[in-house]
Amino acid sequence: MKKSIIIIFTLFITLNVFAKSGKIVLKGQVQNHEVPTIVISRIDNKKVISAELDNDGKFSMSVKIDHGYYLLQYGRSSVSIYLYPKDNLSLVFDAKNFESTLVFDGEGSERNNYLIKKELLEVDLTKDLEAFYKVDETGYLKNITNVKSILIALLYESNVEGFFKEEEEKSIEYSRLLSIQNYKNSYKFYLGDEITPSKDFYRPIETLKLDNDEEYTRQPYYRYLVNSVWSKRIDAEPDVESMLAVLRKVKNQELAISLVNGFYSKISSKKERAKDYLDLIKRVTKHQPFIEAAEKRYQEVMNSKGLKEGDVSPEFSYESIDGQIVSLSDLKGKYIYIDVWATWCGPCIKQVPYLIQLEERYHDKNIVFVSISVDKEDVKPAWKQMIADKGLGGLQLFADKSFDSDFMNAYAVNSIPRFILLDPEGKIIDPEAPRPSFEKTKVLLDKLLN
């Protein structure tokens, strides 16, 4: 999850026309609404249509579309939907708990209710990070194949059209292949350890055709997969000239634009190669606002000295869930493990059970667990509800200006979840501490506290 400027080229791209197109109607009501707008976007995140909610949270929209997958977005929350001409849909959900309360009715509701169930089921099947990821290659392939089998079974239990079953079977398989592609990164992201999968492990991806323009336009997971493969190929090259040579092999204009837009985030995430990505942007586009934004981001990255071990931590004063103002200085005398998170952040939510385990493991030790939400102010009711629903413990605080809080800027927090560990004097032990799901976190805290 990135706090970044989203750069999108204003270009006209000729796309394949789907076999079916026509008008759809979507109306509904959002309970406990705070955000005033609901949006339908394409899978490339470009808006198709939006509607304003009235005082009762009701809305209505109608638009001509090509049939296929889209995103239904409300605030920072989004779900995949599949629209087909002449769909006449109504929906209702509680803004405090978007996905788990979202229900469709009307023409086209069966396939979209299936997609909601599928997404919730996938989260449940992968929530035990150690059981799912901390296995050998054979075990991991077995895990993701099991997920595929369960989702296919759910699909065929659902009363959906044959054309959708065909599309969705492909989507589920592309998702499985994406899991193979991302295994190494996911292992490090969730467990904190480096692994090196064998060449045979990646064979299913190597045999996949990456130049299917129609699938790239229509299938979200195929799109993510193709983007990832090409991005890694470019990143593997040692210099700008060879990176440019790989990019020139991309024939699909929409894919090329997506990759170039992604170079902006690489300036932040790969500091050691930031100059390469800035130079690459300058070589492939003359779009001056994009170049200026990339240059500004590069200077920010290069000028950032960053906080390090032994530095005195910057202060904060944030509101707690019970309305009290809590400052960092109030917590001196204890070790402090800080979790920076948000209600919309899926990877943050995956860490919750492991954070609760840490709190239980060290409940009688000299440490306080502090969770700081960087949600926007209008999401505060949802923040309080999630704390209650998930039984979150520790000290729950709400940042005053989301990512723009002074404390967040001092630590250069531009992605979450982020964990910070301080000593009893308020000095930094680790400005990017290991996550609760990492085994090394327990080893570190055992050493400090026992």
pLDDT of 110 higher than 70? yes
Output the pLDDT for position 205: 93
Q: Which two tokens stand for residue 405?
A: 């809080």
Which of residues 20 and 222 earns the better pLDDT score?
222
The stretch 328-349 carries a mean pLDDT of: 94
Q: Would the pLDDT of 157 be above 90?
A: yes
Across the range 221-249, mean pLDDT stands at 96
What's the CA gap between 253 and 350, in Å, rounded?
35
pLDDT in tens, 411-450: 988 889 999 999 999 999 999 999 999 999 999 999 999 8
Amino acid at site 199? K
266-286: per-residue pLDDT in tens?
A: 998 777 899 999 999 999 999
- What local confidence, expressed as pLDDT, does residue 18 receive? 39
Rounded to two decimals, what is the model's pTM?
0.87
Residue indicated by tokens 């000095």: 427
Nearest of 435, 390, 442, 443 to residue 415 by alpha carbon: 435
Give yes or no for residue 7 having a pLDDT over 80: no
- Predicted confidence band of residue 6 (pLDDT cuts 50, 70, 90): very low
Decide the pairing of beta strands 428-430 and 418-422: antiparallel
Using alpha carbons, select from 283, 265, 285 the residue that is nearest to residue 274: 265
Taking the C-alpha atoms of residue 80 and residue 267, their distance in angstroms, rounded to an integer, is 29
- Is the pLDDT score of 109 beyond 60? yes
133 pLDDT tier (thresholds 50, 70, 90): very high
Q: What is the mean pLDDT of residues 35-50?
A: 94
- Size of the chain in residues: 450
Return the pLDDT at 220. Answer: 96
Q: Which of 151, 141, 148 is nearest to 121 (CA)?
A: 151
Flag whether pLDDT at 99 surpasses 90.
Answer: no
